[in-house]
Structure 1
Amino acid sequence: MNTSAAIYLDNAATTRLDPEVLEAMLPLMTENFGNPSSIHSHGRKVRTAIEKARKTVASLLNTSPAEIFFTSGGTEADNTAIRSSIDTYRLTHAITSPLEHHAVLHTLEHLHKVGTIKLDLVRIDEKGRIDLTHLDELLKTNQKTGGGRSLVSLMHGNNEIANLLNLQQVGDLCREYNAIFHSDTVQTMGHFRHDLQNLPVDFIVGAGHKFHGPKGVGFLYANAERVKIEPFIYGGAQERNMRGGTENVYGIVGLAKALEIAYREMDAHREHITSLKRRMIDQLTEKMPDVRFNGNSGDIDNSLYTVLNVSLPASELSDMLLFNLDIAGISASGGSACSSGSEIGSHVLGALPGQNPERGYVRFSFGKYNTTAEIDFAVETLVGLYQKELI
């Protein structure tokens, strides 16, 4: 293949904008520029575009438009669900895992530090799988000791090690103890179907740029039958008084179009992307001694199909692995999507029992625009780097 062209294998960090999405957004950047809060015709036209987008998202998720609130992205949506639930219901207990995205983990750790809540971390095994028996114990103990209602925040698909959580099972457990259940679904939104009429969750979230939509826009689903929260951001009556500030109109329209495309083409994209992941697993297993796959990412049938976290033999190359891949024209990540340029080690891998810090690791994440030729080149490059190191 033409190695002068950059190969993008960091789709868990962000995705390329779909041309169809850009086409839908452009009119809202040019001729339809009114403020959606204005009552004149320019404003009404834009307000209509926002509500049409809301209905699209709600329809795809099988819920009511009144339960969808647009935000600046997944981080704000997570913070809104967590902070507003705790404030509104005066919650004093929360449960999460050490593997959560920092939008969740840092928020809950801060609230614990300042004394707002008591925070419990559910146990995980060496693969990063959640111990549901321990979750049950934590919920039961809090109830027995008079701790009040609990907030449980556990992500659906891990952005680093590709583990999937059984939302139905966890949701049923939370309902048993009347706990509020929030799940960060940023990595699975647009890649898995979420039927919110039949899924026992109170909050889920999405970020447009994770499924070929624009950056800087996301949404929060709030189950209207079970939770009535106060706003996280004040300053206006936008988003049904739930999120002050003039809406990111073209972002919202782009997000809805991107999610529509994702649902329309989901089966074909899943088949294509899964084949790329399987190809990389097979080739690396064949060509590299002692290669491993962190978490459940190497289990095709039981992991987030867009992510593969590769654990490589201990080597002096490990510290410069991403740099060397970048020089070869391959964009990948060594940790969390939101800090892929940071030298700080992955908190997710650091939390897994039995991890060898001397081993190198790289996260490859795949999208609909990737090709088999790109996978072959990435494997060839990675194998070549380690062969040189071992000579």
Structure 2
Amino acid sequence: MIYFDQAATTKLHPKVSEWIKEHIDSDWMNPSSMYAAKQKRDIEDCRKKILGMIGADLDDYVIFTSGGSESNAMAIEVADLLVTTEIEHDSILNSDIGARLSVDSEGFLSAVNFEKIYNISMRPWDVVSVQYANNEIGTIQDIATVRNTCPDCLLHVDAVQAIGHVPFSVKRLGIDMLSASAHKFGGPKGVGFLYVSKKALPYIKPRIYGTQENGLRGSTYNYIDIMAMTLALEIAFNEMVDNLLQTSRVRMAIFDNINSIECAHLNGPMDFKRRLPGNLNYRFDGYRGEELQAFLAQNEIYVSTGSACNTGKTSYVLKAIGLTEEEADSSLRITCNETNTVSEALTLFKTLQQGLEILK
């Protein structure tokens, strides 16, 4: 089996898997109970570790959630006015508040749209929400410029695809709220966090009521998964340089080979410095992406036709960057990470060639 859908989810890191096996039967107490002082301390230690890893002040806050979608929903709940882009995750776009800005043919906010942000969003409780990196085409937005364009508003960044894979600092970039999901960086599913700066904290409204998280997010602490997520993030940060090198090798092996196919065209940024290191998205003229995906799956090679949250639908991200419905439906997203190999990349290419020949 060859897995090239790392943007959809990642396998548990072996060290994380081993930690869970060792602790699932012994660390079962409720961290909110008076007799579970160790578990409570561990939760607070995780909070501090995460703040340190993302370059935040230690008196900022981390709210533990069920994942990226809940974190996004909490962040935009703050907004009287929400300004975002057309290519955000569904959990952001499902809000009707405010304005959606268009992007260019590579998924970037243009200078004109930066000016629109300045004109639209001025009040301290207005929220600008922008992905650090897009989940379908890998576009890395210029977060620093977004911040400079709206110095007074609250800046929320959906970093689900980026955290653990590319280096950044929330303090340096001026990020007020940041969403993350553990299963995108080798942690378990069903757990994530929302980083909240001191500036943004007074505006946070609970969506689930309870005493946990200082009253900001009710529900019994998911001790095992919070610990496992923090461990996975530590590993990702510690191994980031080596992981980036390996991921880049594999991506270039895929890119160099698929570029030799006449009907293949890269969607998204051409400058790989402005694209997630493991992301490629191609359209194949004259083919249906779902048929190519199915052929590869028959050969135990797994890719996607877009976001896992929108399987079976034409990609609104690809349409937003100017593709026709036919072009969008002819596309495949191929995403790799450090667990993939150049040999797997070559197998993907050869099998894809076979599929193109059979399906033409």
TM-score (ref. length: structure 2): 0.94
Q: Which structure has the greater CA radius of gyration?
A: 1
Q: Which residue of 1 aligns with 2:101?
A: 122
State the Cα distance separating 1:307 from its structure 2 match. 1.0
User: What amino acid maps onto 2:88 in structure 1?
Assistant: E
Paired residue for 1:328? 299
Match of 1:96 in 2: 84
Counterpart mapping for 1:302-381 below 5 A: 302-315=274-287, 317-339=288-310, 342-355=311-324, 357-358=326-327, 360-381=330-351
Offset at 1:263?
A: 0.6
Q: 1:285 to 1:100 in 2, by over 3 A?
A: same
Cα distance in 1, alignment partners of residues 99 and 204 from structure 2: 24
Q: Is the contact made by 2:170 and 2:176 (CA closer than 8 Å) also made in structure 1? A: no
Identity %: 29
Provide closer, same or farther for how the CA distance between residues 128 and 240 of structure 1 changes in structure 2, counting only shifts above 3 A.
same
* d(CA) in 2 for partners of 1:225, 1:367: 35
Task: Give the secondary-structure state (helix, strand or coil) at the position aligned to 2:350.
Answer: helix
Once the 2 structures are TM-superposed, how far is the Cα of residue 174 of structure 1 from its aligned partner? 1.6
Q: CA deviation at 1:142?
A: 5.7
Asked if residue 301 in structure 1 is aligned to residue 273 in structure 2, the reply is yes
Cα gap change, 1:148 to 1:302, in 2 (>3 Å): closer
Shift of 1:148: 8.1
Match of 2:262 among 289, 294, 297: 289
The alpha carbon displacement at 1:380 in A equals 0.7
Structure-to-structure mapping, 1:205-354, within 5 angstroms = 205-286=179-260, 288-296=261-269, 298-315=270-287, 317-339=288-310, 342-354=311-323
Q: CA RMSD in A?
A: 1.8
**Corresponding residue for 2:139?**
163
Gapped regions of structure 1 (runs ≥ 5) = 1-5
Quick check: 2:75–2:204 contact (8 Å CA) kept in 1? no
Distance 1:148 1:376 in 2: 51
Q: Name the CA distance, whole Å, in 2 between partners of 1:301 and 1:66.
A: 30
Q: Quote how far apart the aligned CAs of 1:319 are.
A: 4.1
Q: CA deviation at 1:323?
A: 1.1
Q: Output the amino acid matched with 1:268.
A: D
- Deviation (angstroms), 1:248: 0.9
TM-score normalised according to structure 1 size: 0.87
2:178 alignment partner in structure 1? 204
Who is 1:173 aligned against? Answer: 149
Q: Tell me the distance in 2 between the aligned counterparts of 1:142 and 1:207.
A: 27
**Among 55, 65, 68, which residue is 2:62 paired with?**
68
SS of 2:180's equivalent in the other structure is strand
Q: Distance in 1 between matches of 2:232 and 2:351?
A: 33
Greater Cα shift, 301-310 or 346-355: 346-355
Instruction: Report the 3-state secondary structure (helix = DSSP H, G, I; strand = E; otherwise coil) of the residue aligned with 2:333.
Output: strand
Once residues 197 and 60 of structure 2 are traced to their aligned partners in structure 1, the CA distance between those partners, rounded to angstroms, is 9
Which residue of structure 1 aligns with residue 119 of structure 2?
140
Give 1:59 shift.
1.4
Q: Any idea what the Cα deviations from partners look like across 1:205-243, whole Å, max 9, x if unmatched?
A: 110000001110000111113441243233321112211
Kept after mapping to 1: 8 A contact 2:51/2:62: yes
Q: What is the Cα deviation at residue 196 of structure 1? A: 2.3
Q: CA deviation at 1:141?
A: 4.7
CA separation in 2, counterparts of 1:75 and 1:319?
A: 26
Aligned equivalent of 2:169:
195
Aligned pair count reads 358
Runs of 4+ in structure 1 displaced over 4 angstroms? none
Give 1:30 shift. 1.0
Give 1:38's aligned amino acid: S
SS of residue paired to 2:282: strand
